[in-house]
Structure 1
Amino acid sequence: MKILCVTTISSTVNAFLIPHIRSLLASGNEVGVACNLIKDVDPEIRRLGCSVHEIEFQRSPIKMENIRAYKRIKKIVLEEGYEIIHVHTPVASFLTRLACRRLNVKVLYTAHGFHFFQGAPRKNWFIYYPIEKIAAKWTDSLITMNDEDYLSARNLKLRKEESIFKVSGVGIDLEKFIPQTTERKQALREEYQYKKDDFIIIYIGELSYRKHQDHLIKAISLVKGKIENVRLLLVGDGGFEEQYKRLVQTLNIEGYVDFLGYRKDIHHLLALADLAVSTSRQEGLPVNIMEAMATGLPIIVTNCRGNRDLIVDEENGFIVGIDDIEACANAIETLYQSDELRTRFAKKSKERIHLFSEEAVLKEMREIYASYLR
């Protein structure tokens, strides 16, 4: 069959969808992608023979360019003869479903994290919940990634009954993210010029309000007097970078925090760390935490959707309040002081991560696609 994968921007394709595209091609399907080419798609997409359609989707739903995007996606679906449309990310998903509502195609929608969730601003519920309620009428299958979204999706009325699913994220490559060893950890520290006895904490994510790095920065300011060798690695770029750098200066902790920017060596950075943290305000099913689990790190997360689907409090990590900086600092100190606790948490994460492996997720997706690939 001829399948089109649609996302708002190309980064989503590059980061999450390549293994899924490979799997569809291996089953004998023809696959194309449609997105705003903020960055070019990974060269592998073209090597695999996929058609790439550039569409000027905008992240902001009120941008005028989205009217052109709506018209273009409808034209592509009609002219290219796509039979299944698999949409991702809110804006592209809504516009594409709107464009396909009267066409003879099957539309699958993967929600990587609804914009309405427990604790979300009221405006999110006022705007995004009605939109999803309307768009559900044009949707043949809705795929979620966490318990909260799955329960919310069950309140939406899709075209077809019994067509709401939950999968275990986008899948983690367990051949790339492998369990940490003492020898590899120390070799990488020497290579990256960190000390053997540094207590290294890592947070991977866009520097943004959503990811809430200021929470962790403030926690570091509380523990620096108790853990003199603490180092925080903030991996990622984003619009809040300068704001967070000013906060580090204000708190006088410049020597404790490294801003590493966008990186392609995440698997190495995780392997040299002692502890992974996510202080996010909201998540879908966070890849950064799954990668840390696969590496075998103890983990501290905030109590939000997605985080609590991966971390069981006091089993493979600690869960702290979204704005509870003191609890985060206490959790860091507790793990610093206990080799036994770090080892136990790491062991549980390595056991649990197999549920979220690339192999497991692709199997789940093949089962969902089976009813449409006829």
Structure 2
Amino acid sequence: MIKILHLVSSLSIKSGVMSVIMNYYRNIDKNKVQFDFCYFMDGEDTYEAEINSLGGHTIKISRPSLSIKFFNEINGFFEKQKGIYTALHIHEIYLTFIFATIAKKNGIKNVITHCHATQYSDKKINALRNRILCIPLKKQANYYFSCSKAAGSFLYGEKYLKTEKVKIINNAIDCEKYKFDPNIRSVMRKKLGIEKNLVIGHIGRFNKQKNHSFLIDLFYLIQKKEKNAKLLLVGDGPLFQTIQEKVKKLNLNNNVIFLGRRKDIPDILQAMDIFLLPSLFEGLPVVGVEAQASGLPVVFSNSITQEICLFNYKYLDLNQSPEYWAQEVLSIDRNCNRIQAFLNVKEKGFDIKEEAKKLENIYLEMDI
């Protein structure tokens, strides 16, 4: 058995990156490959208990800085781990310049960088900082992963992408878990009090990236044309209260349902009629794959790679007005066969059982 050390910012259940890693971890053959996690940010709800139950370990380090104290801490950590890890898998790519050098110095031959987005950050200062810190990245790593071609091109460049140095690791899911079930749909719609409504949904953290403000403007126009329309919003985050206040100002209180964070995402997707994802940027959003596997028609913004377009979808320009979007959303075909959708998504390379085997083989080849 070989061991892989994942470097992440936190183990939070809210983290999209951790969601992707855990999907792979649950399905990889742990007799052949085992994961440990190095992180530096605390969270209330984390995957720590599940990681431990799967045989992995978690290591908390200090928040990264350029101080000698931090460099000594990381060097000391890797000195103690000599001979344990086959690879260091870095998901916080801007930290490669610190961790790759120290890891290699202490005997870890393989350093993987994994790009999960098409921007360095949604904050200008952080984006500039991260861009500078990532300049030496390609020389410091020797394996290059990306969640999509778009994200790979963004971080590594078209030249690397074309030479196939970049391995696309799909944000895969358990497709069968999202298979459409009319009975679950009926139960969920009754439970949520939306049995006779046109139900539009969105799942995502309330931050700038997910573009909730535009989403509310769009739904305001949809609701004018479809009086019985309801909007389900799943998630929490820093802009949660701001969006709630906007809903109140537009007198949409009775039409927008805030569900908070939920653990029954497959069932909630069954209850929806249309899914909207007007993000300002993404790598390849897992929730978009999940929504399509459940058979929902999905409307994506053009800032999201078309690699996400798998089943019944529309792909709209964010430069177009909310009025245009509203018209397109309401014209989408909602009468497709939702039951077969999960098979379409599975066949296009997003089934976690198959993709986990591919990742497992990549790791094992590093140990040869």
Distance 1:196 1:30 in 2: 45
8 A Cα contact 1:296 1:350, kept in partner: yes
Which structure 2 residues correspond to residues 17-28 of structure 1 after superposition, within 5 A?
17-22=21-26, 26-28=30-32
Which structure 2 residues correspond to residues 189-268 of structure 1 after superposition, within 5 A?
189-190=189-190, 192-268=191-267
8 A Cα contact 1:276 1:292, kept in partner: yes
AA in 2 matched with 1:370: L
8 A Cα contact 2:145 2:166, kept in partner: yes
Pairing 1:309–2:316 present: no
2:345 to 353, 356, 374: 353
Distance 2:157 2:94 in 1: 21
Secondary structure in structure 1 of the residue aligned to 2:80: helix
Secondary structure in structure 2 of the residue aligned to 1:201: strand
Task: Give the structure 1 partner of residue 324 of structure 2.
Answer: 327
8 A Cα contact 2:27 2:352, kept in partner: no
Task: Give the structure 2 partner of residue 90 of structure 1.
Answer: 93
8 A Cα contact 2:96 2:113, kept in partner: yes
AA in 2 matched with 1:89: E
8 A Cα contact 2:23 2:173, kept in partner: no
The verdict on how the C-alpha distance between 1:21 and 1:348 changes in structure 2, with shifts beyond 3 A counting, is closer
Distance 2:29 2:243 in 1: 43
Cα displacement string for residues 124-151 of structure 1 (whole angstroms, at most 9, x for unaligned residues): 7754444323122110101011122223
Task: Give the structure 2 partner of residue 44 of structure 1.
Answer: 50
Task: Give the structure 1 partner of residue 176 of structure 2.
Answer: 175
Distance 2:184 2:28 in 1: 36
AA in 2 matched with 1:311: C
TM-score, normalised to structure 1's length?
0.84
The verdict on how the C-alpha distance between 1:70 and 1:227 changes in structure 2, with shifts beyond 3 A counting, is farther
The verdict on how the C-alpha distance between 1:51 and 1:79 changes in structure 2, with shifts beyond 3 A counting, is same
Secondary structure in structure 1 of the residue aligned to 2:233: strand
AA in 1 matched with 2:301: T
AA in 2 matched with 1:343: N
Task: Give the structure 1 partner of residue 117 of structure 2.
Answer: 113
Size of the aligned set, in residue pairs, is 354
Secondary structure in structure 2 of the residue aligned to 1:85: strand
Shift of 1:321: 1.7
TM-score, normalised to structure 2's length?
0.85
Task: Give the structure 2 partner of residue 372 of structure 1.
Answer: 366
Distance 2:233 2:147 in 1: 26
Q: CA RMSD in A?
A: 2.9
Task: Give the structure 1 partner of residue 148 of structure 2.
Answer: 146
* Greater CA drift, 343-352 or 194-203: 343-352
Shift of 1:100: 2.5
2:20 to 16, 19, 25: 16
Higher relative contact order, structure no. (Cα contacts within 8 Å, ≥ 6 residues apart): 2
Cα displacement string for residues 293-338 of structure 1 (whole angstroms, at most 9, x for unaligned residues): 11110111111133x22126xx621111224322221122213xxx
Distance 1:66 1:227 in 2: 58
Which structure 2 residues correspond to residues 275-294 of structure 1 after superposition, within 5 A?
275-294=274-293
Task: Give the structure 2 partner of residue 338 of structure 1.
Answer: none
8 A Cα contact 1:293 1:350, kept in partner: yes
Cα displacement string for residues 189-213 of structure 1 (whole angstroms, at most 9, x for unaligned residues): 11x2323211111100001111001
Percent identity between the two aligned chains: 22
Consecutive unaligned residues of structure 2, counting only runs of 5 or more, are none
AA in 2 matched with 1:56: S
